[in-house]
C-alpha cells in the first residue's frame, strides 16, 4: 500500500507499506498532509495500514484497483461487468469504506469490449461507490474508447528514462482527454539496470553505458541517478505524477528530496539524448503480454455477454 503525501502543490507517492513495521504505519497515521492512499487489495490487505486510514478518511484520496483474478490459483485478467461489480464491493468491504475515490482497471481484459467494462464502472460512479475511473497499461485507442463512455481521470503506465514509447501516442491522448499520467517504475538505478540485463533482448553493455552517462550527470547535479530520473518525471508537467514505491521512510525522504533537483531545458534535452527510445534495448519485461502493447479489446458490436 502506498501513502502519497502532498508536497507543495503536487502529490507524490510515498512508502509502500507491506508488513514493513509499526514505524512506517505510525508515520502514515501521524501525517497531517496525506492526500492519496494507493492500494492494490486484490492480492494483499495490510490491516495495520487500513487501520491507519481510519480517522483521516476525508483527507485521503483513496485509490485501488481491480482486474486481476487468481480464481482457482490461475492468474487471469477480467473486465466483465459481474466481476467489476464484485471486485468493487469486495474492496469496499475490505477497506471498510463507503466509497473509493479512484478505481483503476489494473489490466485491460482483451476479451471484453472496453465500453462494456466502462459501462459498469459508470454505474458504480452513479451509485456513489466510486468517484473517478482510471486505467492501467492501456493503449491510446483503448483510452479514447473508454473516455467516450465515461471520463478517465488517470492512466497508470510506465514512462521513464528506461521506457519512453508512451510519448508517441499514450501521453498525448491522456493530455487531450485531460487524464493525469501516473508514472510507475520510473527509477534509474544500477540495480534496475542489472535486472534489465537478465531480460532476453536487453543488451547489458549498451544499457550500462546509458546508466553511466546518467549517473555522471547525477554526480554533477549532486544527486543520485534515481533522483535525477525522478526529477525528469517531475519536469514533464503538472498532469504527471510519479508513484515511487518503497518500504522505508528514509527512501521516501530521498524521493521527496528529488523535488529540489532543477533541470533546465538544455539539461532535459541532455538526459533525453542519453536515454532515447532507440538507445534502450529490449522490452520492459521480455514480453508485451499484459502491457499497453497488447490491450486492444473487441468491438462493442461483438459483445454477447458472459
H/E stretch holding 206: helix 204-220
Give the pLDDT confidence of 255-280 residue by residue, as tens digits: 889 999 999 999 999 999 987 766 55
C-alpha to C-alpha distance for 276 and 165, rounded to whole angstroms: 9
pTM over the 0.95 mark: no
C-alpha to C-alpha distance for 26 and 24, rounded to whole angstroms: 5
C-alpha to C-alpha distance for 66 and 108, rounded to whole angstroms: 10
Q: For the chain, give the mean pLDDT.
A: 78
- From the list 48, 94, 85, the residue with the least C-alpha distance to 67 is 85
Cβ atoms of 31 and 5 within 8 Å: the answer is yes
C-alpha to C-alpha distance for 306 and 295, rounded to whole angstroms: 19
Name the band, by pLDDT with cuts 50, 70 and 90, for residue 60.
confident
C-alpha to C-alpha distance for 118 and 262, rounded to whole angstroms: 39
Give the pLDDT confidence of 84-116 residue by residue, as tens digits: 999 999 999 988 889 999 999 999 999 999 999
Amino acid at each position: 500500500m502506498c501513502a502519497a503525501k502532498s508536497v507543495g502543490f503536487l502529490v507524490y507517492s510515498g512508502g509502500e507499506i507491506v508488513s514493513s513495521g509499526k514505524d512506517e504505519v505510525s508515520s502514515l497515521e501521524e501525517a497531517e498532509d496525506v492526500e492519496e492512499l494507493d492500494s492494490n487489495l486484490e492480492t494483499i490487505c495490510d490491516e495495520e495500514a487500513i487501520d491507519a486510514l481510519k480517522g483521516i478518511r476525508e483527507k485521503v484520496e483513496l485509490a485501488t484497483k481491480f482486474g486481476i483474478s487468481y480464481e482457482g490459483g490461475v492468474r487471469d485478467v477480467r473486465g466483465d461487468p459481474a466481476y467489476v461489480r464484485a471486485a468493487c464491493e469486495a474492496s469496499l468491504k475490505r477497506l471498510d469504506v463507503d466509497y473509493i475515490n479512484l478505481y483503476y482497471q489494473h489490466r485491460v481484459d482483451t476479451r471484453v469490449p472496453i465500453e462494456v467494462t466502462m459501462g459498469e464502472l459508470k454505474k458504480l460512479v452513479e451509485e456513489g461507490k466510486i468517484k473517478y475511473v482510471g486505467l492501467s497499461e492501456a493503449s491510446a485507442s483503448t483510452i479514447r474508447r473508454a473516455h467516450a463512455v465515461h471520463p478517465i481521470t488517470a492512466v497508470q503506465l510506465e514512462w521513464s528514462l528506461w521506457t519512453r514509447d508512451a510519448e508517441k501516442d499514450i501521453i498525448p491522448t491522456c493530455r487531450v482527454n485531460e487524464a493525469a499520467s501516473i508514472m510507475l517504475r520510473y527509477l534509474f538505478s544500477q540495480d534496475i539496470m542489472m535486472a534489465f540485463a537478465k531480460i532476453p533482448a536487453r543488451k547489458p553493455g549498451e544499457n550500462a553505458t546509458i546508466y553511466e552517462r546518467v549517473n555522471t550527470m547525477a554526480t554533477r547535479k549532486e544527486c543520485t541517478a534515481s533522483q535525477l530520473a525522478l526529477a525528469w518525471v517531475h519536469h514533464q508537467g503538472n498532469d504527471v505524477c510519479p508513484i515511487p514505491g518503497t518500504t522505508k521512510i528514509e527512501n521516501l525522504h530521498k524521493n521527496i528530496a528529488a523535488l529540489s533537483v532543477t533541470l533546465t531545458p538544455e539539461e532535459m534535452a541532455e538526459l533525453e539524448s542519453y536515454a532515447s527510445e532507440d538507445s534502450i534495448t529490449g522490452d520492459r519485461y521480455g514480453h508485451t503480454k499484459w502491457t499497453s502493447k497488447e490491450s486492444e479489446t473487441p468491438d462493442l458490436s461483438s459483445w454477447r455477454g458472459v
